Amino acid sequence: MSGRSQEAFLRASRFSGSRGSTSGWDVMYCYCCWQEDTSKPQDVLDITDEKQRTTFPTESAMATRTMEDTPYTFTVKYRRKGPLFLDQTDVHNVLIKDVTGPLLDWNNSHLDHEVRRYDRIAQVNGKKISGNDVELHLEDKSSSEILLTLLRPAKRRVTLHRPGKLGVDLQYRKSSTKPWLTNITEGLLMQWNQENPCEIVTAHDRLLTVNSREDLDGVIDEVRGPSTTLVLEVLHYGIGLH
């Protein structure tokens, strides 16, 4: 439709039985529906709701974590030079979509702190931002320089074994880089979090692959398919831990 973008929501609902059967294991059924984008902010999981929070690591478990498996922050300063290409579809988790322009210049001279795709913008010039106001902060010309506080996500490999419900909802928009988790309920993923406190995944994390399938159709096929093992690659940002 002219002048309007379309939005795809990837939802996960549970049902019992495999394809063409009314019995068997519980699996997660995913479907996509298209709807017109609106000017209203999209609904995002309220991570302050205790009913929607998952089990988090103990203090002893947190003490053994390293930079490689824990999200961490770093800063980038550059002079204004062209736009940034961002993924703002999850308003609570604004991501770098492509490393171009001033970010590419930064990388060429800061090999120890390179900006990467999927890095999260946590602050602009010391101010917290969201997908609703990040452009306003970036366009503020009161300073000739921009200071970004970025968060590098931790890559998690999650292995789930059926039978059982996955217990997760995913959301996706046409302009999204990858689907993101919006809710974790009772099921295999919550069980993973409880059994692997240093490798948990939470709301607003991005789902990269399922059984090595990267494209959206492939992710849906794997989740809906008969496989008894699902291997998920997830980018964990730790937003649900704060």
* pLDDT for the residue numbered 241: 58
* pLDDT for the residue numbered 49: 35
Q: How far apart are CA 48 and CA 239, in angstroms?
A: 11
What angle (nearest 5°) sits at the alpha carbon of residue 89, between those of residues 110 and 35? 155
Q: How far apart are CA 121 and CA 129, in angstroms?
A: 8
* pLDDT for the residue numbered 217: 86
Q: Which stretch of DSSP H or E encloses residue 32? A: strand 26-36
Nearest residue to 182 via CA among 88, 43, 55? 43
* pLDDT for the residue numbered 61: 42
* pLDDT for the residue numbered 146: 92
* pLDDT for the residue numbered 70: 83
Whole-structure pTM value: 0.72
Tokens 């990040």 sit on residue:
134
Nearest residue to 170 via CA among 201, 198, 131? 201
* pLDDT for the residue numbered 148: 95
Q: Is 70 helix (H, G, I), strand (E, B) or coil?
A: coil
* pLDDT for the residue numbered 178: 92
Do the Cβ atoms of 172 and 10 come closer than 8 Å? yes
* pLDDT for the residue numbered 119: 97
* pLDDT for the residue numbered 230: 96
Domains of the chain (ranges; CATH) run: 6-62+155-241 (2.30.42.10), 72-152 (2.30.42.10)
* pLDDT for the residue numbered 68: 57
Within the chain, which residues score under 50 in pLDDT?
1-67, 242
What angle (nearest 5°) sits at the alpha carbon of residue 240, between those of residues 66 and 38? 130
Q: Under the phi-then-psi rule, with left for phi > 0, alpha for psi from -120 to 50, and beta for the rest, what region is 174?
A: alpha
Helices (H), the chain: 59-63, 101-109, 134-138, 188-195, 216-224
